Structure 1
Amino acid sequence: MNNVVLIGRLVRDPELRFVPGSGMAVANFTMAIDKGLTREKKQEFESQGKPTADFIRIVVWGKQAENCSQYLAKGKLVAIQGSIQTSSYKSNTGETRYTTEVLANRVEFLEWGEKTQSSSAKNDDFSFGAGSFEDFQSIEDDDDVPF
């Protein structure tokens, strides 16, 4: 069985291209996946210059590729489901190079917002639903809560 589920942030904007002849859309992007280290381990890794995330190359085909190109941007949180694919090619020097990437079957946008927003936008800059958080009213303390 070859099934991968990843949640992470885009390292850069997706690259969209179209296959000559068929015109099929294909998008490539890289996700940074946090290694889930404890705070102490993370500090240790950072002090040693070791990465605290894995960087995984993702390939998406068809209409999903066009949607990714249109709506995803650097820093956005995304979930993908797909399969690992490996391949090899010859470099200009004649060396055989090996690649590993995830072929995404499903892409879920976990953060929404206009692609034109600054990539340094914070999560609380996004509005969810029709209103904003300022529209909510605080609830008074109620000691009679039945649970």
Structure 2
Amino acid sequence: MNKVVLIGRLTKDPELRYTPGNGAAVTTITLAVDKYNTKTGQKEADFVPVVIWGKQAESTAQYMTKGSQMAISGRIQTRTYDANDGSKRYVTEVVATETQFLSKGNQSSNASNSNEYSMPANDPFSGGNFEEDITPVDDGDMPF
């Protein structure tokens, strides 16, 4: 099985291109995915190249910017190509099949889409100490 799920932040603005043959939209991004180094106790990041195709590619390029958080799921792909200097290059990347925008990117110039990814004004999770409001759940009867 080849399935990858990542949540991270864009390291730069998405790059939208169209293929020369059939004009398919393709966007490439790099996600900075946090990880915890148990030896040093420090938070680190892996930088994962991601390729997004079709309508999802266009939406990502339109709404996401450097620093935006997004989730992707897809598959790992390894490919090779010959560089200009004649050497063989190997590329490992994630090909996204699903994307989800987790934070607001840039705003569209179209007014009807300007609030498409914004949080509601009465968001109950916008501040405060949540630990005081959490009720523990007894999961002793759960089968897993």
Q: Which has the higher helix share?
A: 1
> Does TM, scored on the shorter chain, surpass 0.5?
yes
**Structure 2: gaps of 5 or more residues:** 109-116, 128-144
Asked whether 1:69 is paired with 2:32, we answer no
2:68–2:105 CA contact under 8 A, matched in 1: no
1:48-127 equivalences under 5 Å are: 52-115=44-107
1:73–1:115 CA contact under 8 A, matched in 2: no
Q: CA RMSD in A?
A: 3.1
Q: Partner amino acid for 1:128? A: M
The offset of 1:131, in angstroms, is: 4.2
The offset of 1:35, in angstroms, is: 1.3
The offset of 1:38, in angstroms, is: 5.3
Q: Distance in 2 between matches of 1:114 and 1:18?
A: 21
TM-score normalised over the length of structure 2: 0.73
Q: Partner amino acid for 2:50? A: I
Q: Distance in 2 between matches of 1:18 and 1:113?
A: 22
**Structure 1: gaps of 5 or more residues:** 44-51, 117-125, 137-147
Q: How many residues align?
A: 123
